[in-house]
Structure 1
Amino acid sequence: MIEHAVTDRLFPGFRKLDIATSGTTIRLRTGGTGPALLLLHGYPQTHVLWHKVAPRLAERFTVVAADLRGYGDSGKPATDAGHTPYAKRAMAKDMAEVMSALGHETFFVCGHDRGARVAHRLALDHAERVRKLCVLDIAPTREMYAGTTDTFARAYWHWFFLITPAPFPERMIAADPDAYWLKKCGSGSAGLSPFTPEALAEYLRCFRDPATIHASCEDYRAAATIDIAHDDADGDRKVACPMRVLWGQHGVIERCFDALELWRQRAVEVSGRALPGGHYLAEELPEEVAGELEAFFG
């Protein structure tokens, strides 16, 4: 475990750590007191996604906000032909090992976007450790691909762009990573307004790394292949812990999917609702999201 000096104001009172797992190294922030709560970010962001909600949550929970492997300042393992190092199973194992290293044998978990897909696999593969699960603005990966419509494909064009064989998308993104990031993340109902200047600078700094661009493409390639194979192998096995599903009323999930119905096919106990925002809920509606998490994880 390596501790780094904190030079920003994003997570007041939090420690910044690197923790080695069996597969890579994970960068994280941790702070607060109370039951452990793991927060996982989405694409193409980092743990900084949680900077508006983490200080409030730290009043009631021991918060751990981590960079997924391949993202931010976490390690970026070499891939293979089957995209195995970027399967959600591998990413979930990282987080289980991180929580063990921090002394948290059981914990709550909330994930947004890609992090929510990791959280889903974490709740399946490490069911004895995850007390409750919350996901933000996703439906299950396999079911989303199976339910692809013209409207969904046009809105989530990056799902189909990023899974094309390397190095095609990598080279196109690397030609101007800032322009790609701003186009991808600024195309929703709120534009770029959810992102503070300090957070945006961190996102762009990390995404300019060609290794991050490649790893994030591998994350999507894994989602379309090995992750679905793992889902199929689960058969009728469902998430056993209580699950809360939140999504943006002005986003793609609301327009294209019945999130609660799809999650009830994959989990035993599901509740949830739409919030009056878009995709980046924790940054667009931090007070509402923090309140939901406090009420659910209680």
Structure 2
Amino acid sequence: MFGDFERFDIDVRSAAGEARIHGVRGGSGPPVLLLHGFPQTHAMWHRIAPELARDHTVVATDLRGYADSSRPASGDDHAGYSFRAMAADQVAVMAELGCDRFAVVGHDRGARVTHRLALDHPDAVDRLAVLDILPTAHVYSHVDRRLATAYYHWFFFIQPFDLPERLIAGDPIRYLHSLLGGWGSGLAAHAPEALAEYERCFGDPDTRHAMLEDYRAGASIDLEHDAADERVGAPLLVLWGGASVVGTGSADPLAVWRERAARPGLVRGGAIDGAGHFLVEERHDLTLAALRGFLAEG
């Protein structure tokens, strides 16, 4: 799916322990890191990455625990799957590839890693884009019936091991399809070759467990980290699907993100019309255009 992109596996070490991160790299020019979300892999960027590689060195990785990256131990506090740990992985990968400063684009859980990466490693982040999310702490502090219904999985996945794992194991691929076909998107938004990758990875019980640990960390140690009330200093692009949960809610995504920015004037963005949560695959043309314009400003 990525043409002549080079595949790699890089061993990284941080305070969160060791991990092996799988990814692809292609193109030349200013570096940009692409981070996927749940329940996907770096394959979600297969339409956008080759286009960005015309002007950029593009790196797309699998987050720790996902797809072909390793699945380190989580720990009793789930710190092994915190956004802080995942962000440290990505900084180490980019340094190994010779990129000490770069742009970051993240979708869903990858966007939450992007947010934490910009807070923990401000010297490494030239600019960042977050796709179809509101900040984790904001989501948990503004839960109502509508949001709890749409994001029920946030509360299902954080239940103690191994109840969610056992229930999902009953029919994992059908459950995966319900996720990929939800949140304002349809299953047909995903190309067959990308869908096959998601199915391959979600079919692995160890990978599913690691994904749930990501959510367990999001409801515990990640909120502790967010309590520091740090602000993003780099230019920030916020995109969301017009038909997604974010796009149809009562909150103004730009206003919410400007509250988390050291310089609110550097926050811009808008809705991608005709797209739900999976805007990168549903409307890759509009998403690509928005990203290209933003990255060109660097």
SS in 2 for 1:190: coil
Which piece of structure 1 moves more, 98-107 or 173-182?
Answer: 173-182
Q: Which residue, out of 271, 275, 293, partners 2:272?
A: 275
Offset of 1:136 from its aligned partner?
0.4
Match of 1:241 in 2: 234
User: Aligned equivalents of 1:46 and 1:171: distance in 2?
Assistant: 22
User: Aligned equivalents of 2:141 and 2:204: distance in 1?
Assistant: 32
Match of 2:70 in 1: 75
Runs of 4+ in 1 over 4 A off after TM superposition: none
Q: Which residue, out of 246, 255, 265, partners 1:261?
A: 255
C-alpha distance after superposition, 1:53-110 (max 9, x if no partner): 1110000110000000010100001111100000100000000000000000100000
SS in 2 for 1:255: coil
Offset of 1:290 from its aligned partner?
1.1
SS in 1 for 2:137: helix
Match of 1:5 in 2: none
Q: Which residue, out of 112, 127, 135, partners 1:117?
A: 112
Offset of 1:190 from its aligned partner?
3.1
Alignment of 1:143-222 (within 5 A): 143-222=138-217
Please say if residues 118 and 128 of structure 2, whose CA atoms lie closer than 8 Å, have aligned partners that are also in contact: yes
Matched, 1:97 2:95: no
Please say if residues 185 and 244 of structure 2, whose CA atoms lie closer than 8 Å, have aligned partners that are also in contact: no
SS in 2 for 1:239: coil
SS in 1 for 2:143: coil
Offset of 1:264 from its aligned partner?
1.0
Match of 1:14 in 2: 5
Offset of 1:255 from its aligned partner?
2.1
User: Aligned equivalents of 1:189 and 1:121: distance in 2?
Assistant: 26
User: Aligned equivalents of 1:154 and 1:180: distance in 2?
Assistant: 16
Aligned residues: 287
Please say if residues 183 and 245 of structure 2, whose CA atoms lie closer than 8 Å, have aligned partners that are also in contact: no
Q: Which residue, out of 47, 52, 61, partners 1:57?
A: 52
Match of 1:7 in 2: none
User: Aligned equivalents of 1:264 and 1:221: distance in 2?
Assistant: 27
User: Aligned equivalents of 1:189 and 1:90: distance in 2?
Assistant: 30
Matched, 1:36 2:31: yes
SS in 1 for 2:130: strand
In the alignment, residue 272 of structure 1 is paired with which amino acid? Answer: G
Match of 1:3 in 2: none
In the alignment, residue 208 of structure 2 is paired with which amino acid? Answer: I
Report percent identity of matched pairs: 49
C-alpha distance after superposition, 1:12-41 (max 9, x if no partner): 110111000112000001000100000000
Offset of 1:189 from its aligned partner?
3.0
Offset of 1:178 from its aligned partner?
0.2
Please say if residues 22 and 62 of structure 2, whose CA atoms lie closer than 8 Å, have aligned partners that are also in contact: yes
In the alignment, residue 271 of structure 1 is paired with which amino acid? Answer: R
SS in 1 for 2:21: strand
